[in-house]
Amino acid sequence: MSFREKHLWISIVASVGVWGWYFWFLIRHVMDGRLVNDHFTGDVSLAFMGCLVLVVAIEAVLTIIATLTTPKHEQKTRDEREIHAALKASHVALMALIGLVFCVSMGAYFSGLIDDNLVGGAAVFRVDGNLMVLVANILLACLVIAELIRAGVTLMLLRALR
């Protein structure tokens, strides 16, 4: 396995593990009805900062291990086949990200219409801080999914071209 492939696996494992737990934590909070709680933003922000530090630490440690188990020459080499696979995968991930963000936008817009504008009869959106934090986290989930798609498709292409 090349250094690039190892690094992609590290990225996938760290993202799935850490961000998987984070979004599970977030969903549990929302399902428990804590979205209206004053501590919601603080709790979620704390979890987010913790996960950010954790994902950086995990990636750093695993990258050091990958570096030690890869010949020096291959650590620096990033050849055309890898670049080719990375570009193709980035394109797929970008398309996925556009699709996800579009769906989130439409979802937010129509849920706003149904909730307040049309059904409620008011011509305004009523958005509180906690809801904004939730929307920000949904966008973060879109980024994490897009990044997982990029890493996964790159790995798939590298394995197909072997």
Partner 1 sequence: MSPLAGPTKGPPPIRNRIRELRFHAGEMTQAELAQRIGMTRQTIVAIEAGKYSPSLEAAFRIAVVFGVEIGEVFQWEG
The DSSP letter of residue 125 is -
What is the C-alpha to C-alpha distance for residues 37 and 53, in angstroms, rounded to an integer?
A: 25
Position 82 contacts partner 1 (CB under 8 A)? yes
Span interacting with partner 1, options 1-9, 26-34, 116-124, 136-144, rule CB under 8 A: 1-9
Site membership for partner 1, residue 14 (CB under 8 A): no
Residues 6+ apart with CB under 8 A from 13: 58, 62
Nearer to partner 1 among residue 79 and residue 115 (C-beta): 79
Contact at 8 Å (CB) between 6 and 51?
Answer: no
SS3 of residue 123 by DSSP? coil
Q: Judged by CB under 8 A, does residue 77 bind partner 1?
A: yes
In the complex, least distance from residue 90 CB atom to partner 1, rounded to whole angstroms: 19
Query: Is 85 in contact with 158 (CB distance < 8 Å)?
Result: yes
* Site residue total, partner 1 (CB under 8 A): 16
Does 4 engage in binding with partner 1 (CB under 8 A)?
Answer: yes
Tokens (6 digits) for 151: 């890493």
Binding site for partner 1 (CB under 8 A): 2-5, 71, 73-74, 77, 79-82, 158, 160-162
